[in-house]
Structure 1
Amino acid sequence: MATYLYRIGKFAYRRKGMVLALWLAILVLMGVGAATLSGPTNDSVTIPGTPAQQAQDLMAERFPAAGKDPFNALSARFVFAAPTGQTLDTPVNEAAMDAVLAKVRGIDLVEPAAKADPGTPVAEGTHSAALVNPVVAHTGLLDQVTANAEEQGKPVDQALANAQALSALSPDRTVGYVDVPFSGGHEDVTKALTDQIDAAAQAGRDAGLTVQVSGSAAQTVDMPGGSTELIGMGVAAVVLMITFGSLVAAGLPLISAIIGVAIGSLGITIATGFTTLGSMTPTLAIMIGLAVAIDYSLFIVSRFRHEISVTDDREEAAGRAVGTAGSAVVFAGLTVIIALVALRVVGIKFLTDMGSAAAFAVFVAVLIALTFLPAMLGLFGRKAFAGKIPFLTSKDPESDEGKPGIGTRYAHAITRVPLVPLIGGVLLLAVLALPATGLRLALPSQATADPATSARQAYDLIDKGFGPGRNGPLVVVVDAQDATVSADQAFGDVVAHIEAQPDVTNAQVVGVNPEGDTAQILVTPASGPSDPRTVELMKSLRDGEAGLHEQIGVNYGVTGMTALETDVSDRLQSALIPYLAVVVGLAFLLLMLVFRSILVPLTATLGFLLSVMATFGATVAIFQNGWGGLIANPQPLVSFMPIFLIGVVFGLAMDYQVFLVTRMREEYVHGASAKDAVIAGFSHGGRVVTAAALIMISVFAAFIAEPDSFIKSVGFALAAAVFFDAFVVRMVIIPAVMALLGDKAWWLPKWLERVLPNVDIEGAKLERDLETPAPSEPEAVAAR
C-alpha cells in the first residue's frame, strides 16, 4: 500500500493544478446539488419490530383517524393555570382562554376540523373536533357520560370517575389544557409557526393566566449557527501554529479540513432529497469530519516536514509522506468508518443515518488528506513552512543534533520503570469510571427538558394539576377478532386485568373500531412516564397478555410514549454486544494487518475499553449526577448516546494507536531494539499525537456551548474520550505495555504470518524499492 500511496502523493504534488481544480469542481458541483436537490430534514422516529411499534401499527390500521404515532404526530398542548386563589371556570378566565383559542384557529397549519366554530351544530351521532376551552369541554363530557350511564343502566359514579380521568380540567379547576392537532410533519415546524403559537399563548398571559405550550409543533430544532465550528477551528489554528511554528504550515490542515467538511456536509444535504434524515445528522457528521480532517492532514504535513529534512526533493518528500503517514491515515480512517457504518447493526434508522453520514465525512477527509493536501504542498512549494512565528521553534527529532527533546525524555521516563505508569494509568481510569455504575438512559422528552422552557413548565403544570400519570398514559390496543367470548366481554376482562395491577389510577375503553372487534384502553398510571414503576406496570401488562390469550383468545399490545421509549432502550441494549463484536472483530483484523501482531491489537482494544468506561463515568457524573454544578438540569443520558459514543470513540482511539504505534513498528522493522523503537517512535509520534488530540478536544468541546442537550453531552463525551484515550491510554499505558512486552509485542504465529497479506504500512518495501538502483544505472557506470 505504501508504494501506491507514494505514487499518489508524488502525482498530486507534481500535477497540483489538475488535482486542486478537480477538488474545487467537486465542491462547486456539490454546492449546486445541495441547492437544487436537497429536501427537508425530519426528526420522526420509527422503531420497526418493537412491541410498542407493533401495537401502534395495529391501532393505525384499525383506527386510521386516531392511530397517529405519538413520536411523529404534529401537535401542541396549551396548558392554562388560573391566577393564585382563582379557578378557570370564572367568566373572565374562560374569556381569556377563548381569546387564546381564537388566535389558534387563525394558524394555517391547524387541522381544519379543529378550526370549526364550536357553536356550529354537528350531525347526530358525530363528535365535534372544534377547539373549546377546558371548562366547556369538562362540562360537556360530564353531561354526556351521565346521560349515557343513565341510559345504559350503569353506575353514574363510575362513569363520572372515568370522565374525570379523561377531562382536560383538573379536579380543583385550577389547571386545564387543550390539545391542538396540526397538519403536516416535523419539517413544517418553522420559526414563523412557533411565533404564531407563542402569540396565541401571549393573549392569555396578557389577560392574567399562566399559559405554557408543549408539543412537537411548538418546538423548533436549534441548529448550530457555525460559532461552535469557528471556536474549534480557532483553537486548532493556535495548536497548529505552536506545532509547526509557521503560519503557512498551520493553515494547510485547516484549508484541507474546510474543503473536506464542506464537501461532506453538502453531500449529506444532497442525500436529504433522496432519503429522510434527521436534523442532528449533519451536525454530528460535521463534528466528527472536522476533527479527523484536521488530524489526518496534520499527520501528513508533520511527516512531510521530517522528509524534507533528509531530502531536498520536495516532490519525493511529499510522496514519502503520503506513502508512510498516508498509510496510517488510510487505516485510521477505515477503523472510524467501520465503527460508524456498523451502527447499522442496531436496526434503528436515525442511528444508522448518523453513522453513515459521519462515515461519509470521514471518507472524504481521508481522500482530501491523500490528494488535496499534497497538491497544496506542491502549490506552496518551498514556502510551505514560511511565515515563521517569532519565539516559536519546531524541530524534527532527527535533526535535533543529539539533544533529546521533551518527547524523547518522556519516553525514556515511561520505559525506565514501565510497571509504575501502567498501574497508575489503569487505576486513574478505573476510578473515573466508577460513576458509570449508576448510568440511567432515557429519550429526550418534556420531563427531561430545561425547567426554564415552556414545554417543561407545561409538563409540570399537568403533573401538579392532574397527577404524574396524566403526562404518560399507556394505551392498550385489544384485538378480539379471535376471542372465544364476545368482544364486549373480552374488552371488559382486559380492563379488569389492568385495574388489578398496582400503580393504576384508571383504565377504561376510550374507543372501539366500527367493526367492534378492536378497542383502545387508556391506562393512567399513578406514577410519571419516566418513573421505574410505570415501566414495571408496562412490563406486567405485557406479561399478562399470554394468560388472557389462553383463557379467552384475546390479543393485546401496549404502546404510548413510555412503552416506545422503553422499547428503544431495550433494542439499544440488546444490540450493544453484537455491535461491539462486529466493530472490535473487524478492527482487530484490520489492526493485525497493520501491525502484524496479535498483542498490539489486543492491548489497543483493552485500552479503548478503559478510556470509554472512564468517559461514561465522567459524563454520568456531570450530565446525570450534576457534579460541579456545570449542568443546570441534570438528567439521564440519551438512550442511544452510549452505543453511538462507543462507535465513535473506538474509531478515534484506533486513530491514535495507528499514528503512534506504526512509527514504533517502523523503527523496529528498520532494526531498532524493541525498547529503542518505543522511544524513537514516541519521539516522532508523540508531538503530532498531542497536537492532534488537542485539536480534536477543542473541536468537540466547542459543541458543549450548543443549546441542544444531546449535542452538548456528545461534545463533552467525545472531548473527554479523546483526552483519556490520547493522554492516558496511548501516551502512558501503551508505551509502558510495549516496553514490558519487548520483542513479544510483535509476535505473530508463523501460519498467520503466511496468511495475512503484508500491507507494508511502515514503508519498508517502499524504502527498499527507493534504495535499489534502477536497472540502467550499472550499465551507465560500466560504460564510463
Structure 2
Amino acid sequence: MAELLYRIGRFAARRHWAVVGAWLAVLGITVVTYLSFAGALSSNITLPDTPTTRVSQQLERDFEGAGGGNGSIVAETTDGTALTTAQQRELAALFDRVAEVESVADVSDPFATQEQLDASAKQVADGRQQLDDGLAKLKAGQAQLDAGRTALAEQRQLAREAGTLAAVRPQLRAAEQQLDDGQAEIDRQRAKVDEQVPQLEQGATLTELSSGFRTVSEDGSAAVANVTFDVSTNEVTAEVKTEIEDIVAGAGIEGVAVHPSQDIAQTVPSILGPGEIAGVVVAAIVLFVMLGTVLGAALPLVTALLGVGVASLASLSFSGMVEFVSVTPVLGVMLGLAVGIDYSLFIINRHRRQLMQGATLHESIGLANGTSGNAVVFAGVTVIVALLALNVTGVGFLGLMGTVGGVAVLVAILMAITLTPAILSLAGMRILRRRERERLETGERAHDDEITDRDRPMSSTRAWTVLGLGVAALLVVAAPATQMRLGLPDGSTQPPDSAGYLAHEVQAKKFGEGSNGPLLVVADLPSAIGKDDVVAEQAALGEQIGNVWNVEAVVPIGASKDRSALAFQVIPKGAPSSAATAELVQNLRTLTPETASGADATLGVAGNASAGIDISDKLSDVLPTYLALVVGLSLLILVLVFRSILVPLTATLGFVLSLLAAFGGITAIFQIGFLSDLFGVHAPGPVLSFLPIIATGILFGLAMDYQLFLVSGMREAYAHGAPARVAVQHGLHAGRSVVTAAAIIMISVFAGFIFSHDATIKPIGFGLAFGVLLDAFVVRMLLIPAAMHLLGEKAWWLPRWLDRILPDVDVEGAKLERSHPVHEEQVDERASAPAAR
C-alpha cells in the first residue's frame, strides 16, 4: 500500500492540474445529481416494528380517521385576558384555512369542542340531579305508602276490637287496593330509574375521566386546535408544514399570538451556522500556528471544504429515494470537515519535515503520501468500518447515518492522498516558512528523527502517579453516566424564540405538561361487542386506565370497525420526556384491565412520547452489542498494526475510559443541567437516544487515529534499537505536536456545532468535542505513555505462533523510507517548482 500511495503522490504532483480539474469535475457532477434527484429531509425519527408502530398501524387499519399524524396550533392572548368573541371567530377562520391545506384531514375548532365538553359535563350533572330528585320523590312516595299501610292496619285492628270489621271491610279493601296500585307505580318508577342509573353512572365516569382534558384553558386566554393529517406524521412533506407555518404566521389577529407545535414547526438544521464557521476559523488559526504560512493553513481547509461539498451533495442526491433524517447530512459535514483537515495536515506536516531534511519536492510529496498517507488510509478505513458497523444494529436511520458519515470520511481520504499532493506541487517550496527556505538554501538540514537527551524516560513514580490520577479523574467524570436516560427532543428543547418552543410552553402552562405528549391507548377486547355495550366497556376500561399512576385524563376516541377494540387518548401528568411518563407507558403496556363482562383486555400504547421511549429502548438494547463489536474490532486492528498484545489492550481500555467519561459529561450537562447555561441548554432532559451509539462509533475511529500516529512512532523507534522506555518518549515527542494540532482542530470543528439552534445537533457536537478532548489529551498523551513506560519491554510481547501468522502491516511506510531515503542524492526537482519567494 505504501508503494502504491507513493506512486499516486508522485503522479498527482506531476499532473497537478489534471487532478485538481478532475475533483472540480466531480464536484460539478454531484451538484447536477443533487439538483436533479434530491428530496426533502425528514425531521421525524421512526423505527419499524416497535410496539408504537404496531399500535399506530392498528389505528390506521381498524379505526375510522384515527391513523393519520397529528399536530397542534396553539393560540394565546398577549395580555393574558380571555379570548373575546371576535378573536374566537378570527381563530376559527384561521383553522378553517389550515384545514384546506393538502394532506390536512381536519382541524378541530377548540371553542366548539370545549362547548361540547362543557355541555356533556352539564348534561351529566343535570341527569344526576334529576336522578337524585326522582329518587327523593320515590323515597317520599314510598314513605307515604308505608304510612298508609300502617294507618290501614291500625284501622282494621280498631274495627276488629269494636266488632265493626265486617261493616268497614269494603272500605278497607278499597284503601288497600289503592295502596297496592301506588306501590306498583313506585316499583315501575324505581325500575325505570334503575335502568337509567348504569347509563348515567357510565356517563359520569367518562365525564370525570376526561375532566382533565381541555381545548380552551380555564381562564379562557389560550386555545389548542388539533391538526389531523391524512398520512402519518413522518410522511407529511416539508412543503405542507411550511404552508401551515406561513398561514399561521400571517394570521394577524390583534392581541393574539399563534404558534404551530413542534410536529408542524420542526425545521431542518442548518449545515453551516455562525458556530460552525467559528470552529473553522479556530481550525485555520491552529493550522497557521502549526505550519507557519497562510498557504499551508489554507490548503487543508480548501481540501476539506471541497471534500465536504462532494460527499454531502453525493449523499443528498439519494434523499429522493431514501428517507434522510435531517441530522444525517449535518453529521457528514461534521465528520468530513474534521477528518478532512486532519488527514491533509498529517501529509503536509510530513512533507514539510522531509523538505527541511533535504528531500526534493516531488520525491518528498511521494514519500509523504506513502508514509503519512498510508497511515491516513489505515486510520480512515478504521473510522469507516466503525461507522458502517452501525448497520448491524438493525436500526435503519442509524445505519444510514453511519453510511453517510463513512462516505464523508472516504472522500476525505481520497482528497488527502490525491488533491493534497497536487496542491503541494503547485505550492512548491512556499509551503515552508521564509526562514526555513533560507536555511535550506545555505545547505542546513534538519535531523529531528534522531534520539536525543529530550527522549530521556520519565520516572516510574511519575508514570504511576499520572496513570492513577488520570484513571481516577476519568472515572469521576464518567460517574453521571450511571444516571443516563435516553429520549428524543421535544418542544421544550427547541430554541426559546422558536414556534415549537412557544407552543410547548403555552400548553404546559395553561393545560399541563402532559398535554404536549398525549398517549394513544388501544384496548384489544377478548371478543367483539355490540353497539349498545360500547359505552359500558369504555367506562369500565377507562376507569381502570385512569387509576394508573400519573394519568391526568382519559378521553374515549371510539371503537374499531368490528368493535373488537377500543381507543382512548390518555393525558399524562408529566412532560413527554419525563421519567414519570416513560414509567406510565410501561405500566399501561403491562396492565390487563377487566372488561364489563369480567374478561381481560390487553393494552397497546402509541403517540410521540411512546415512540421516543421505544426508540430509546431499542437503541439501549443494541448499544452493548455495538460496543462489544467496536472493542473487539479495536483489539484485532491494533494487534495487527503494532504486533503486540498489551498495547492493544491498553489502547482499548483507554478508549472505553474516555468514552464513558464523554457519556458522563453529556449526562451532566444535557440531562442533569450542570453548566447548562454555558452551553445554551435551557431545558435539561433525556440524552439524545442515538447519541451514545453514534459517539461510540465515531470516537472509536478517532481514538485509533491518535493511537496510530503516536504509538507507531514508539514502535518504529523500538524496532530501530532504542530501549523500550526511551522509544516511548521519542515517539511521544515526534508525534505530539501534530496530534495536538489535529485534536484541537477536530475539537474546534465539533465544538462549533454545540451552539447550533437545533437540539439534536447540539449534544452531538458537544459529545464528540469532549470525547476527542479526553481521548487525545488525557488518554493518548498521558495515560498511554505512562502505561507503556510501566510495561517496558513487555509492551511489545507477542506470542511466536501469532507473530508467524500475522501479516506485516507497514502502516508508517518504514520499508518505503528505507527504499527511498530522504538524504540520498536525488534529481533536483526544485527547478520545476514555483518560485520560493
TM-score, normalisation: structure 1: 0.86
Deviation at 1:757, TM superposition (A): 1.7
Q: Does the alignment pair 1:312 with 2:308?
A: no
Q: Give the 5 Å matches for 1:35-46.
A: 35-46=35-46
Match of 2:575, SS? coil
Deviation at 1:401, TM superposition (A): 10
Q: Distance in 2 between matches of 1:316 and 1:427?
A: 47
Contact 2:387–2:402 under 8 Å retained in 1:
yes
Match of 1:379, SS? helix
Contact 2:375–2:709 under 8 Å retained in 1:
yes
Residue matched to 1:425 = 470
Deviation at 1:652, TM superposition (A): 1.1
Residue matched to 2:384 = 337
- Residue from 734, 740, 745 that aligns with 2:795: 745
Q: Does the alignment pair 1:293 with 2:340?
A: yes
Q: Does the alignment pair 1:445 with 2:441?
A: no
- Residue from 762, 770, 776 that aligns with 1:720: 770
Q: Deviations over 1:310-335 (max 9, x none)?
A: 44333222222122212211121122
Could you tell which deviates more after superposition, 432-441 or 260-269?
A: 432-441
Deviation at 1:342, TM superposition (A): 1.9
Q: Does the alignment pair 1:382 with 2:429?
A: yes
> Residue type of the partner of 1:360?
V
Match of 1:510, SS? strand
Distance 1:239 1:58, change over 3 A: same
Deviation at 1:390, TM superposition (A): 12
Deviation at 1:269, TM superposition (A): 1.9
Q: Deviations over 1:689-736 (max 9, x none)?
A: 011011111111222232112222222222222211111111111111
> Residue type of the partner of 1:694?
I
Deviation at 1:135, TM superposition (A): 3.1
Residue matched to 1:196 = 247
Residue matched to 1:7 = 7
Contact 1:2–1:759 under 8 Å retained in 2:
no
> Residue type of the partner of 1:12?
A
Q: Does the alignment pair 1:469 with 2:489?
A: no
Match of 2:548, SS? coil
Q: Distance in 2 between matches of 1:542 and 1:108?
A: 34
Distance 1:373 1:414, change over 3 A: farther
Deviation at 1:192, TM superposition (A): 6.1
Distance 1:613 1:704, change over 3 A: same
- Residue from 573, 597, 620 that aligns with 2:644: 597
Match of 2:811, SS? coil
Q: Distance in 2 between matches of 1:106 and 1:633?
A: 34
Q: Deviations over 1:547-599 (max 9, x none)?
A: 98998464431122222111111111111100101122123212222111121
Q: Does the alignment pair 1:154 with 2:200?
A: yes
Q: Distance in 2 between matches of 1:457 and 1:421?
A: 49
Could you tell which deviates more after superposition, 474-483 or 602-611?
A: 474-483
Q: Does the alignment pair 1:138 with 2:114?
A: yes
Residue matched to 2:395 = 348
Match of 1:524, SS? strand
Deviation at 1:467, TM superposition (A): 3.4
Q: Distance in 2 between matches of 1:193 and 1:176?
A: 17
Deviation at 1:490, TM superposition (A): 6.2
Residue matched to 1:735 = 785
Distance 1:499 1:76, change over 3 A: closer
Identity %: 40
Q: Deviations over 1:49-86 (max 9, x none)?
A: 22122111211221262112xxxx363322335855x5
Distance 1:402 1:9, change over 3 A: closer
Contact 1:649–1:722 under 8 Å retained in 2:
yes
Distance 1:413 1:390, change over 3 A: farther
Residue matched to 2:76 = 80
> Residue type of the partner of 1:671?
G
Q: Distance in 2 between matches of 1:257 and 1:101?
A: 52
Could you tell which deviates more after superposition, 377-386 or 579-588?
A: 377-386
Q: Distance in 1 between matches of 2:104 and 2:735?
A: 67
Q: Distance in 2 between matches of 1:66 and 1:326?
A: 58
Q: Deviations over 1:251-286 (max 9, x none)?
A: 222222122111111112212122111222111111
Q: Distance in 2 between matches of 1:98 and 1:414?
A: 82
Q: Give the 5 Å matches for 1:367-516.
A: 367-385=414-432, 399=447, 409=454, 412-413=457-458, 417-480=462-525, 482=527, 488=534, 494-516=541-563
Deviation at 1:225, TM superposition (A): 4.1
Match of 1:268, SS? helix
Residue matched to 2:67 = 67
Q: Distance in 2 between matches of 1:248 and 1:411?
A: 36
Residue matched to 1:94 = 85
Distance 1:289 1:713, change over 3 A: same
Residue matched to 1:635 = 684
Q: Distance in 2 between matches of 1:334 and 1:532?
A: 40
Deviation at 1:193, TM superposition (A): 4.6
Contact 1:239–1:694 under 8 Å retained in 2:
yes
Q: Distance in 2 between matches of 1:456 and 1:328?
A: 47
Distance 1:397 1:273, change over 3 A: farther
Deviation at 1:298, TM superposition (A): 0.7
Match of 1:627, SS? coil
Q: Distance in 2 between matches of 1:415 and 1:333?
A: 34
Distance 1:551 1:351, change over 3 A: farther
Q: Give the 5 Å matches for 1:658-677.
A: 658-677=708-727
Contact 2:456–2:726 under 8 Å retained in 1:
no
Q: Distance in 2 between matches of 1:568 and 1:24?
A: 41
Deviation at 1:498, TM superposition (A): 1.9
Distance 1:577 1:44, change over 3 A: same
> Residue type of the partner of 2:447?
S
Aligned residues: 739
Match of 2:226, SS? strand
Could you tell which deviates more after superposition, 13-22 or 598-607?
A: 13-22
Could you tell which deviates more after superposition, 501-510 or 723-732?
A: 501-510
> Residue type of the partner of 1:423?
G
Larger Rg: 2
Residue matched to 1:777 = none
Match of 1:709, SS? coil
Residue matched to 1:120 = none
Q: Deviations over 1:14-56 (max 9, x none)?
A: 3333333322221221122112221111223321122122111
> Residue type of the partner of 1:654?
M
Q: Distance in 1 between matches of 2:218 and 2:344?
A: 65
Deviation at 1:159, TM superposition (A): 4.7
Residue matched to 2:731 = 681
> Residue type of the partner of 1:468?
E
Q: Deviations over 1:601-630 (max 9, x none)?
A: 211111112222222233333333333431
Residue matched to 1:27 = 27
Match of 1:594, SS? helix
Could you tell which deviates more after superposition, 101-110 or 688-697?
A: 101-110
Q: Does the alignment pair 1:187 with 2:238?
A: yes
Gaps of 5+ in 1: 115-128, 772-784
Deviation at 1:362, TM superposition (A): 0.4
Deviation at 1:499, TM superposition (A): 3.4
TM-score, normalisation: structure 2: 0.81
Q: Does the alignment pair 1:243 with 2:243?
A: no
Contact 1:607–1:725 under 8 Å retained in 2:
yes
> Residue type of the partner of 1:735?
P
- Residue from 554, 564, 570 that aligns with 1:523: 570
Q: Distance in 2 between matches of 1:550 and 1:663?
A: 78
Deviation at 1:752, TM superposition (A): 1.7
Q: Give the 5 Å matches for 1:535-574.
A: 535-545=582-592, 552=599, 554-574=601-621
Q: Give the 5 Å matches for 1:702-713.
A: 702-713=752-763
